[in-house]
Amino acid sequence: MKIYFALISAAALSLSACGGQQETAAPAAVSEAPVAAASEAPTENTPAEQAAPASAGNAAAPAEAGECETVVNSDDQMKFDKQELEIKKSCKEFKIVLKHTGKMPAAAMGHNLVISKSEDASGVVGDGAGATAANDFVKPGDTRVIAHSKLIGGGEETTFTVDPSKFAEGSQYEFYCTFPGHYGLMHGTVKLI
Ligand SMILES: [Cu+2]
């Protein structure tokens, strides 16, 4: 019996010794892995980082024509600084930068810029109020909307683009803010030039 116990305890010792070796071996293997991954990662990223600015530069060059871009300011007094927004029809896409020069947050004095036919404005504004701030006060998928910006608060700005081919000859277009209660002071005419 003594021999039997001795064998068992010897087996147990060798098992625990074995487990101990594995435990000490495992962290060594793990600590090697991140080093290998980290040393590989930069060599993979470097070519991608070099390629990105080159392609961005090429794409930005033709779109940088100043005639296809305008800035509209809005403020804490619930006003746009333009009563008329000129959009050049010959532009492939027309960029509009909306700035909020005030200090009030979007929840209290948020502004957006929405463009539609004049006859559709009241419907877009009405449905926009129900769409809530989470949807920038524009009903999702509203086909009456030619283009619209995000809702912004004081100190923020946002840029969006308009496709000039979406404006039909002979129709009247407006731009306005759909934040509830703002349309009365915040609307103007879109003039296609
Ligand atoms: Cu507004």
Does 112 or 23 have the greater pLDDT score?
A: 112
Cα 165 to middle of ligand 1, angstroms: 26
Chain segment 105-117, per-residue pLDDT in tens: 999 999 999 999 9
The CA distance from 104 to 157, in Å, is 13
Chain segment 70-83, per-residue pLDDT in tens: 999 999 999 999 99
- pLDDT for the residue 65: 57
CATH of domain 67-192: 2.60.40.420
Domain boundaries, the chain: 1-64, 67-192
DSSP letter string over 16-83?
A: HHHHHHHHHHHHHHHHHHHHHHHHHHHHHHHHHHHHHHHHHHHHHHHHT-GGGEEEEEE-TTS-BS-S
Tell me if 177 sits within 8 A of 72, measured CB to CB.
Answer: no
Cα 109 to middle of ligand 1, angstroms: 6
Chain segment 141-174, per-residue pLDDT in tens: 999 999 999 999 999 999 999 999 999 999 999 9
Does 44 or 89 have the greater pLDDT score?
A: 89
- pLDDT for the residue 55: 40
Cα 95 to middle of ligand 1, angstroms: 19
Cα 137 to middle of ligand 1, angstroms: 10
- pLDDT for the residue 66: 76
Cα 72 to middle of ligand 1, angstroms: 12
Beta bridge mates, 100: 74
